[in-house]
Chains A and B, each alone.
Chain A
Amino acid sequence: MNLPLSSQIINLLAAMLLLLSFAMLTQRRILSLINLFALQGLTLTLSTLVVAWSTGQHHLYYSAALTFVLKVLILPSVLHRLIRKLSAKWDVETLINIPTTMLVGIALVILAFNVALPISQLAGTITKSTLGIALACVLLAFLTMITRSKAVPQVIGFLAMENGLVFAATSATYGMPMVVEFGIALDVMVGMVILGVFIFQIRERFDSLDIRHLEQLKEE
């Protein structure tokens, strides 16, 4: 199999993305989790740049710049500040133990490839083989959200899921229209703000960030 260089680079970056997703799924420490998230953002930026360069799609440059600013610079620094303010550098408690999570993650990846196979056969893009990875990233991020019991890791899971979505869009159709991308970027910002408020409210109310406290809100 003799792929052009750009394709090989994209495949490499996609593999890194998947690896990072797994790393986030298993990471216990919250600071490392934020760093991994920033790294994932950087990988995504690089892959978008490569796609843009090799296909000549100009709007993907903007998309890459947006991703870089938002997900590598702003959001990680906001999250770092949040952690410092909350002085919450604890280990992440997972609800299910990590090896089980890994096994579930592997099953998800297989499923994602299986689902993406017919679509990527139809797609004519140079990135078509990465669609399965993108889908797997989304599912793994979702799983991260489910298995964490603290609020900040859940927020990171949510943001990582969005990374997977952007990657899926780039790989399947060379990115979404610019308007949609801006919209999604705005959504992420707004979501971040809301979740930030939410986190502070939880802490004020329960003196802890453990979302298990929210179970008390249930109506009997």
Chain B
Amino acid sequence: MPGALQLILGVILLWLALGLAGVFFPRNLPLVSRVLFPAGAVGALALAAAALDALGGDTQSLVLPLGLPELPFHLRLDALSAFFLLLLGAVTAGVSIFAAGYFRRGEGTPPGLQCLYYHLFIASMALVLLADDAYAFMVFWETMALSSYFLVTSDHTKPEIRRAGFLYLLIAHVGAIGILLCFGLLHGTGDYTFDTMRAVQLAPVWATVAFALALFGFGAKAGMLPLHVWLPEAHPAAPSPVSALMSAVMLKTAIYGLLRVLFDLLHMQVWWWGVVILVLGLATALYGVVFSAVQSDMKRLLAYSSIENIGFILVGIGLAVTFQAYGMRALAALSLTAALYHCINHAFFKSLLFLATGSVLHATHERALGKLGGLIHRMPWVAWLALIGTLAIAGLPPLNGFVSEWLMLQAFLFTPSLPHPYLNMLIPVAAAAIALAAALAGYVMVKFYGVVFLGQPREQSLAAAHDAGIWERVGLVWLAAGCIALGVAPVAVIGVIDAVSGQLLGKTLGASAAGWMFLTPISPDRASYAPFLFLIVILAVWLLTWLAVRYFYHSGMRRAPPWDCGFPAQTARMQDTAEGFGQPIRQMFEPFFRMQRELPTPFDAKPRYRVIVEDHLWYWLYLPIVKVTEALTRVVTLLQRGRISVYLTYSFVTLLILLLFVK
């Protein structure tokens, strides 16, 4: 009986083989979509099962005879890795099935190569989670960045997509430098295995530097403020299954890395590290949600919403670090559980929504919210499944988003017990900000769902929209079912997460004090939540209302024109638009944005209204860096004269100087 680690490696090999098969038949669409992607999905399910099995078991490790001489790849499967592998496998299964129906001919990169990059991407993510030495970690980390870069730029004929891809690659590499330097500090004088790093005792100053580097490096990958700029560019540029994977899983590998360094490799926690993460996370969450409210492109909206969710997860980690530093392990376990729970929640609902936008995109060829609408009649499957995702991300019970947000607010309610007066004053503000972000996320989702699926179609061409195919439906149903299951059975999920918090913090949450039905963090008399009862009550109320309406009012559905307030010449363009819906937020949070508005005068025959919302940070932070880099480049350009003789002279002079130096 092979162990879980061997099974996971087998799945990874299967993925690599599937990717290679795609290379040999780059344009054989039936093979790629009917065989390779479904096989990848089956592999993903096996991986999830193996990871779930490993969560309860012992740590397993393995040395692969690959890599450089004297520097083999070390792999290790512990609870933290297993949890994230579970997330990876469960989400990838749905996304791969969806992708089987999604990739088409004639759209940029041929399907076989997409298949290669896709499977390389998921395999490298799995290996990042397994890596047990810095060398293997960096190799897989870079493979992940490169394969996802090629996926992002699969529609590379468009210049803005190439630009988005470049920005992504640039920030990914800047972040990788941070991670590399962090490992360089951590390893002390020994070799680069994580075991050595665990044993090294760093001086507090250097530990802080290592922490800052890790936060920078992993933050760049996760989309933490102010390193988030690539995310709203790259996610919309990628094909939808890839956006789903990047948002759902790749951002989580950054969270994994941060947790690995913070709780596993560094031997200490300092309370103010937690505060730094908390503040950055809060800023990220607020910033992401406010920007997502004013977007008019559905995939950009979801990308900004991913930034918000990452901020939310970072807040949980920050609280956990602070609690842990003060030795309040139960509360640290609560915060960490909330963060991990939100990781897996976000993975499910965000991939569901990204895939739904993919179906909409295929059906309508339209990404701008202003040209969609009324799709619930044309695409009932996608619309109803997307509704589940929308409700989940908005944090409504009994779906999964509520559980993690509720746990997080519980964690905040316990902060007055911190032995630090200033923190006690600061943290209620943070709790309020988190509540605000959660509420705004609800607002954003009403906008997203309402504009895309409800109302009247805004364009004639939408009448031709068709529902998703069978493969796409299976993928969406899997993810939606995940959202419901995670929401209804939180006690079981927390049982799984307990293995991780047990490993990292030495303390578990143990939320099942009052039986499987009630979620009771810390103690039952303080707070409890029974999602299953909630679900039953909601279903019962809904059913009773429906029956009552049917019984008392009329039977059967009847379509009639809406009341037109006595103004008969109504068109679909008179509906509230995405811009209109976001306008109050744009007014209230005006200092966040850099806006250019073009307002028509009342006498315009053809009035045009235009608003461009941009990011202040781009102008305040990134453009100055670009300017400095350009100035430096100009200095270096002086060396480049374009004459071979001059270049030869450079090497000649270098040679002479070296000769004299050696002598």
Q: Name A's B-contacting residues (CB within 8 A).
A: 95, 111, 114-115, 118, 139, 142-143, 145-149, 154, 211-212, 214-219
Contact = CB atoms under 8 A, between A and B. Distances in A.
Nearest to B662: A115
Interface of B: 637, 640-645, 648-649, 652, 655-656, 659-660, 662-663
Nearest to A96: B645
A95 B641 contact: no
A134 to B, nearest CB: 13
Contacts of A143: 652
A111 B655 CA distance: 12
A114 B656 CA distance: 12
Contacts of A212: 643
B643 A214 contact: yes
A146 B641 contact: no
A146 B649 contact: yes
B475 to A, nearest CB: 46
A217 B648 contact: no
B644 A211 contact: yes
Given A143-B652, A145-B648, A146-B649, A215 B660 contact: no
B641 A142 contact: no
**Chain A at the B interface: mostly helix, strand, loop or mixed?**
helix
Of B637, B648, B660, B662, the most chain A CB neighbours within 10 A belong to B648
A147 B642 contact: no
Given A146-B645, A219-B637, 16 more contacts: A95-B645, A111-B659, A111-B660, A115-B659, A115-B662, A115-B663, A139-B655, A142-B652, A142-B655, A145-B648, A146-B652, A154-B644, A211-B645, A214-B643, A218-B640, A218-B641
Contact of A147 (B640, B645, B659, B660): B645
B361 to A, nearest CB: 38
Contacts of A215: 641-643
19 contacts: A95-B645, A111-B656, A111-B660, A114-B663, A115-B663, A118-B663, A139-B656, A142-B648, A142-B655, A143-B652, A146-B648, A146-B649, A148-B645, A149-B645, A154-B644, A214-B643, A214-B644, A215-B642, A218-B640
Nearest to B656: A111
A92 to B, nearest CB: 13
Of B637, B645, B660, the most chain A CB neighbours within 10 A belong to B645
B170 to A, nearest CB: 19
Contacts of A147: 645
Contacts of B656: 111, 139
Nearest to B646: A146
Nearest to A211: B644
Nearest to B663: A115
A217 B642 contact: yes
A117 to B, nearest CB: 9
A142 B649 CA distance: 9
A115 B645 contact: no
B81 to A, nearest CB: 45
A216 B641 CA distance: 10
Nearest to A147: B645
Nearest to B658: A115
B103 to A, nearest CB: 37
B483 to A, nearest CB: 52
B194 to A, nearest CB: 41
Nearest to A217: B642
A38 to B, nearest CB: 24
Of B640, B655, B656, the most chain A CB neighbours within 10 A belong to B656
A216 B645 contact: no
A176 B648 CA distance: 26
A123 to B, nearest CB: 16
7 smallest beta-carbon distances between A and B, as pairs: A218-B642, A215-B642, A146-B648, A115-B659, A115-B663, A146-B645, A211-B644
Nearest to B644: A211
A214 B642 contact: yes
A145 B640 CA distance: 18
A216 B663 CA distance: 40
A146 B644 CA distance: 8
A95 B644 CA distance: 12
A105 B652 CA distance: 13
Contacts of B644: 154, 211, 214
Nearest to B648: A146
A115 B641 contact: no
Nearest to B647: A146
A212 B644 CA distance: 8
A216 B660 CA distance: 35
Contacts of B649: 146
Contacts of A111: 656, 659-660
